[in-house]
């Protein structure tokens, strides 16, 4: 009886892992780094951030990244999502806010939006990380990503790290 239970659990875990691989978005990558066509024209002065050591007891931490249109034409921002359910991202352009956006597959699909960045214009991507989202087992080093798309193409990938303590 225990052997059958073990086989059933292995099958369920395998199916779950396969489902995660199917649902997970696949950004355009080359040598492990997100790439974008040169005509997108989006840049960020900072793509990586280190929160250092943070405490679960102190709750959610936030950071703002910038995105700038360095091209000579208008860029359409159309989607944003995160690599984990513990992280959300909000695009802030002037008084307009799009989000918070989360991880695909948790609570439905990631909604599309439309925000234009004119040449030379900047916006902010505010990220929020909840260190309590994974419960007591969520301590130690974490690495997360936020993906910003322009017309279905990954334009920018922001990353952050933290060391979570209870």
Q: Where along the chain do its domains lie?
A: 2-165
Q: pLDDT tens-digit profile of 40-95?
A: 788 998 999 999 999 999 999 999 999 999 999 899 999 999 999 999 999 999 99
pLDDT of residue 31: 38
Give the percent of the chain with pLDDT over 90.
60
Q: How confident is residue 20, by pLDDT bands cut at 50, 70 and 90?
A: low
* 3-class DSSP string for the chain: CHHHHHHHHHHHHHHHHHHHHHHCCCCCEECCEECCCHHHCEECCCCEEEEEEEEHHHCCEEEEEEEEECCCCCEEECEEEECCCCEEEEEEECCEEEEEECCCCCCCCCCCCCEEECCCCEEEEEEEECCCCCHHHCCEEEEEEEEEEECCEEEEEEEEEEEEEC
Judged against a pLDDT cut of 80, whether residue 97 lies above it is answered with yes
pLDDT of residue 128: 97
The domain 2-165 is placed in CATH, from the list 3.30.70.141, 2.60.40.10, 1.10.3260.10, 3.40.309.10, at: 2.60.40.10
**CA–CA dist 34, 25 (Å, integer):** 13
Q: pLDDT tens-digit profile of 150-161?
A: 877 888 999 999
- Residue bearing the bigger pLDDT, 126 or 7: 126
Bond prior to 100 in cis (omega within 30° of 0):
yes
Q: What is the arithmetic mean of pLDDT over 121-132?
A: 96
Q: What is the arithmetic mean of pLDDT over 1-10?
A: 70
**CA–CA dist 160, 52 (Å, integer):** 10
Q: How confident is residue 38, by pLDDT bands cut at 50, 70 and 90?
A: very low
Mean pLDDT of all residues in the chain?
A: 83
Q: Nearest CA to 57 among 151, 153, 164? A: 164
Instruction: Indicate the pairing of strand 115-117 with strand 153-165.
Output: unpaired
Phi, psi (deg, nearest 5) at residue 9: -65, -40
- Residue bearing the bigger pLDDT, 103 or 5: 103
Contact status, residue 53 vs residue 165, Cβ threshold 8 Å:
yes
Most confident option among 4-13, 54-63, 102-111: 54-63
Q: How confident is residue 35, by pLDDT bands cut at 50, 70 and 90?
A: very low
């Amino acid at each position: 009886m225990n052997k059958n239970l073990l086989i059933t659990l292995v099958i369920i875990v395998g199916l779950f892992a396969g489902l995660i691989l199917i649902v997970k978005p696949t950004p355009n990558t080359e040598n492990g780094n997100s790439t974008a066509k040169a005509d997108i024209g989006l840049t960020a002065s900072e793509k990586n951030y280190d929160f250092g050591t943070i405490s679960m007891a102190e709750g959610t931490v936030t950071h703002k990244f910038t995105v700038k249109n360095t091209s000579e034409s208008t860029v359409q921002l159309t989607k944003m999502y995160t690599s984990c359910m513990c992280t959300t991202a909000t695009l802030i352009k002037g008084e307009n806010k799009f989000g918070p956006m989360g991880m695909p597959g948790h609570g439905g699909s990631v909604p599309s939006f439309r925000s234009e960045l004119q040449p030379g214009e900047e916006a902010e991507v505010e990220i929020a990380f909840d260190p309590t989202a994974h419960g007591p087992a969520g301590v130690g080093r974490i690495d997360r990503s936020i993906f910003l798309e322009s017309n279905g193409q990954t334009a920018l990938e922001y990353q952050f790290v933290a060391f979570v303590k209870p």
